[in-house]
Amino acid sequence: MHRVSPRTLPPGLEALTGLALDLRWTWNHAVDGLWQRVDAELWNATHNPWVVLQNVPQARLEQLRSDEAFLASLATATDERAAYLRTAGLCASRWPVDVPSGVAFFSMEFGLSEALPLYAGGLGVLAGDYLKTASDLGVPMTGIGLLYQEGYVRQTIDASGNQRETFPYNDPVSLPIQPALGTDGSWLEVTVPLPGRVLRLRVWQAQVGRAALYLLDSNHVLNGAVDRGITAKLYGGSVETRLLQEVVLGVGGWSLLALLGKDDAVAHLNEGHAALAALERARRYMHARGVPFDEAWWATRAGNVFTTHTPVASGFDAFSPSLVDKYAQRLLADCRLSLQDLLALGRADPADDDEPFNMTYLALRGCAQASAVSRLHGEVSRRLFARLYPRWPLAEVPVRHVTNGVHVPSWDSAQADALWTAACGKGRWRGDLRCLEAAVAATDDAALWNLAARQRAELVRYARERAELQAGLRGESTGQAAGAQGGLDPNVLTLGMARRFTGYKRMNLLLQDPPRLIRLLTNPSRPLQLIVAGKAHPEDVEGKRQVQAWVTFTRRPEVLGRAVFLEDYDLALAQRLVQGVDLWLNTPRRPWEACGTSGMKTLANGGLNVSTLDGWWAEAYDAACGWAIPAAGDDAQDAATLYRLLEDEVVPCFYERNAHGLPPRWVQRMRASMSRLAPRFSSNRMLLGYLEDFYLPAARALRRRSEHESLAAWARDISSHWHEVRLDDVDVVLDGDAWRFRAHVYLGGMRREWVRAELYADERHGMPRQCVPMQIGSPIGGSIGGYEFVTTLPAIRPADDYTVRVRPWHDDAFLPAELPWIAWQR
């Protein structure tokens, strides 16, 4: 079996291995110069320390052994890394010591660096930023993902402007990962039973500062050819292969945690792909404690957190009942479940035999807490999932939100880093962010404008070189290549637009009126220049058509030098773009953008945003910080609004200069955007939100449920008697300036402490939504389980606004997420 081993280094250089394998170098650029000195050609070509270290000639390493200046730099870098790993992060003291395993973060993709291309887009980039932030803040976190032999699509553009795809092989030798080793020194393996065979999964490990990322790999010599291909390609293959990838992530991932002794961790499922982890967790708990499956399900799901990233139901992974049946036989027998029992966990209507098994629904039922990724996405998600919580008000569908953020040190330029360091200190993104706004707001106009100018010039240089390389690879003429190289201007307002090309993102909105766009680009006194990048999914015909439209437009003679399409959008190109553009454009069709983080990445660099009021921008927009495109719902109207914004507001704001040559209104917006929005939309704020509002409650609830009686018996009794609940004779009287409500509630065979009666009022008449607990009063004579419930409240709104309702209640339950029963006054 092939096994990767670190290269044996000459004495005195051993510390290079640890530096190269710790992916902290993806956001800590203090040691970039060290790798430049090891081998400048390799470093400039790859910016991957592990590749540099594995491929540098031995003679060069021998030279470095006697280079005192290099050895001193190496010692400094080694000491600095040791200090980082040794020093407790901001959140270390907040994590409960009796939950030592911390958080296990499951994701189908992780975007940490182009050196480890295991991502397709925003979901993976977010996961990568999340691990980096956990490292910086000292939140104990373990990432669980898959090692793909082929990462996501690489893009080239042919002479006709068509997208062509390639899928390069991920050679483990060149990836900054190592085999994960057991206590006996052997390579860790996990097994997952499949029909007629056992799937063997190798385990690899990547170090992300203080955090660890484990990657499961089915390319094992003892697996059959089909099974070796399960992790062949990210999101590749058939529907059955997709299910098997989710089996590997969920079942294999939780099995790995158990092997590592981390099965008491809080599990964070990043999308529904990992939903099977909740089932495997319960199955293992069932056997470890000798309890039935329903008790294990109730005991363990308190420790599971789910984040949904999808704003449309068609984006949820769903599988046919027959396919689920094929791969669930072992689980059903082991847990004494019927197929219908299992399918009910993944269906909105358990009685509908034709409904597929939905992984998002399974995740919602297998996790006590759920989150959307922006305020608007929370509203959209509650509408999407309302049918799982029948009769509950939309506002109480149990999906909260934590708006995404970005790991700023991964996205700020060297020039921006210097400005922030001067204003706020070096450790600013590892501490309390509340002090940053005032410090950055005090930065003078000249410093901010010089920052924009230097970053823009660097982007123009990079874009020219990349465009020239693209032209050469297509075999274009010397004149065409020279035209590409001579394009763009470091003193012109630069607009960037880059992301996945697909219908709802409307990447072609700016092409609705090409003559009007050309006039903007070629204005002799106030020109605009445009850099576009992005890929379409290989099967997305519409997305590919949009790519071709932009490529065709940028090749028009009248816009050469003012518009360029840069091929093969990836993390490295994204970093260059967000560090250099003046303005970032985002035009999704509301409300289809769950969050979107590309525009957040410009904030720390002083870039401004113009965007549809969708995703994060719907809650971030402030006229002092950028521009908004009010969604008219019609592409032509939205495009007209965008053109007007550029012509009448954006371009004049950039080019109107004072006596010192500065654009005061533009710089004011830069200052406001950097100081107000960059800290607010950093991943620090995001992770702290999850820590306080999700992880700590999950850790406490998981501990209580493992130490005390399960809630399963309570839930069974509630469910078996709920049909007996009835509300009659609700009376209300005005007592002075207060309403006094009295309700007769019949609970049948249920204990009265198992329910709560409430007065509920929707938002109405300018008054907020209210939910007022009622106190239990006297038993109702001659009844079985009948009680009076009463409450008094100020008569500041009409009594007709209020309705009495009854719901299950338990101090240790997450409701209605775990038990969605509810009864209302007739």
Angstrom distance (rounded) from CA 96 to CA 139: 11
Q: What pLDDT is stored for residue 480 in this prediction?
A: 54
Angstrom distance (rounded) from CA 672 to CA 678: 9
Distances (CA, A) of 88 to 18, 378, 415, 491: 20, 33, 28, 44
Structurally, at CATH architecture level, domain 104-401 sits in: 3-Layer(aba) Sandwich (3.40)
Q: What pLDDT is stored for residue 2 in this prediction?
A: 46
Do the domains 104-401 and 408-413+435-681 sit in the same CATH topology, yes or no? yes
In a 3-state reduction of DSSP, which class is residue 789? strand
Taking a C-beta distance cutoff of 8 angstroms, is the pair 377, 591 a contact? yes
Distances (CA, A) of 818 to 300, 317, 588, 702, 821: 12, 22, 34, 14, 9
pLDDT tens profile 526-544: 999 999 999 999 989 999 9
Q: Which residue has the tokens 């922030």?
A: 420
- The whole model's pTM is what? 0.95
All structural domains of the chain with their residue ranges: 15-86, 104-401, 408-413+435-681, 712-824
Q: What pLDDT is stored for residue 623 in this prediction?
A: 96
pLDDT tens profile 146-155: 999 987 788 9
Q: What pLDDT is stored for residue 479 in this prediction?
A: 52
Q: What pLDDT is stored for residue 396 in this prediction?
A: 97
- CA dihedral over 646, 651, 653, 654, signed as positive or negative: positive
- CA dihedral over 564, 469, 149, 240, signed as positive or negative: positive
Distances (CA, A) of 708 to 366, 385, 561, 694: 20, 31, 70, 21
pLDDT tens profile 18-51: 999 999 999 988 899 999 999 999 999 888 999 9
Beta strand 369-372 pairing with 304-307: parallel
Angstrom distance (rounded) from CA 815 to CA 115: 43
What are the phi and psi torsion angles at 326 (to 5°)? -60, -40
Query: 749: which residues sit within 8 A by CB, 6+ positions away?
Result: 717, 720, 721, 724, 784, 785
Taking a C-beta distance cutoff of 8 angstroms, is the pair 804, 730 a contact? yes
Nearest to 327 by CA among 259, 240, 394, 200: 240
Domain 408-413+435-681 has CATH 3.40.50.2000: yes
Class of domain 712-824 as given by CATH:
mainly beta
Q: Low-confidence residues of the chain, pLDDT below 50? A: 1-3, 478, 481-482, 485
The reply to whether omega before 6 is within 30° of 0 (cis) is no
Q: What pLDDT is stored for residue 145 in this prediction?
A: 98
The reply to whether omega before 697 is within 30° of 0 (cis) is no
